[in-house]
Amino acid sequence: MAQTGKSIKRNLISKANTTIVIVTAGACFVVVFSLIASITLVGQFKYQNKVISAKREARDTVKKDIEAAKQLTSSYQAFTSTSQNVLGGDPNGTGSQDGDNAKIILDALPAKYDFPAMATSLEKILSNQSVTIRSIAGTDDVLNTANASTSASPQAIAMPFKISVTGNYDSVHNVLKALESSIRPMDIQIVSLSGSQAEISMEVTAQTYYQPGKDLKISTKIVQSGKTTTKTTAKVAQ
C-alpha cells in the first residue's frame, strides 16, 4: 500500500510538471506571438501613416491645380476678349495688326519649327516696306528639330535666316525698323549695305525663335514599407 501511495504521488507530481511545462510553453508562445504581432502592427501603422500623408499631399496638390486652372482660364478669357489687341488692332479683323491676343502671342513664339510660316511672315513684313525682295533664305531643319519635344522648362530655339532686298535709303531703313518692331523676336546679327542712296542693296543675317510647349506631367509617388508598395498619383503643375 505504501508503494502504491508513492506511485500515485509521483504520477501526480509528473502530471503537475507536465501541466506547468504546457502552460509555460503556451505562455511563451502567446508572448512571442504578441511581440511579433505588435511589431507588425506598429510597422503597418507607420506605413499607413505614410500612405495617408502622401495621399493628402496629392489631394492638396490636385486642389491647388484645380484652382490654378480656374484662374488661368479666367485670365486667358480676359486676355483674349479685349476690344483692342496688344498691337492696337482689331481682335476680329484680318489686317496685319489684327487678331486676338492669343493668336498674336502664338505667332510671336510658335511652339513648333515651321520655316515656311516664318518665310511667309518675313515676306509680309518686307512687302509693306516698298522694297524689292531678292531672296529669303534659311534652312528648313524640321527633321533635326523634331526631337525638340515639350518639357517642364522649355527653352527658346533659334531659327536662323538671311534676307536680301533692294530699295532707296528710307525703304531699306524701314525694313530694319520693321524687323525690330516685329511681334516675333528678331536678333539681327549682320547687316551688309552696298549701292547708292537711290538704290541700296541690303543683306541681313538674323534669327528668330520658337519654343516647344510647356509640359504638364502626372507624377507617381511610390510609398514603400518592407515588401508592401502603394502608388499615389497626383497631377503636378510644373
Confidence label for 51 from pLDDT (cuts 50, 70 and 90):
confident
Average pLDDT of the residues in 78-83:
85
C-alpha to C-alpha distance for 237 and 209, rounded to whole angstroms: 25
* Predicted local distance difference test score (pLDDT) of residue 206: 93
Helices (H) and strands (E) in the chain, counts: 4, 6
CA dihedral for 99, 102, 104, 107, sign (positive or negative) = negative
C-alpha to C-alpha distance for 87 and 89, rounded to whole angstroms: 6
User: Is residue 41 predicted with pLDDT exceeding 50?
Assistant: yes
Rounded to the nearest 5 percent, the helix, strand and coil shares of the chain are: 45, 25, 30
Three cell numbers at 52? 495617408
Distances from the Cα of 97 to the Cα of 107, 168, 188, 222, angstroms = 12, 25, 22, 51
* Predicted local distance difference test score (pLDDT) of residue 155: 81
Q: What is the mean pLDDT of the chain?
A: 79
User: Is residue 3 predicted with pLDDT exceeding 60?
Assistant: no
Average pLDDT of the residues in 120-145:
82
For 206-232, what is each residue's pLDDT tens digit? 999 888 877 766 666 666 655 545 444
* Predicted local distance difference test score (pLDDT) of residue 147: 57
C-alpha to C-alpha distance for 174 and 166, rounded to whole angstroms: 12
pTM of this prediction? 0.54
DSSP string, 31-45: HHHHHHHHHHHHHHH
Confidence label for 18 from pLDDT (cuts 50, 70 and 90):
confident
Average pLDDT of the residues in 186-191:
92
* Owner of C-alpha cell 528678331: 186
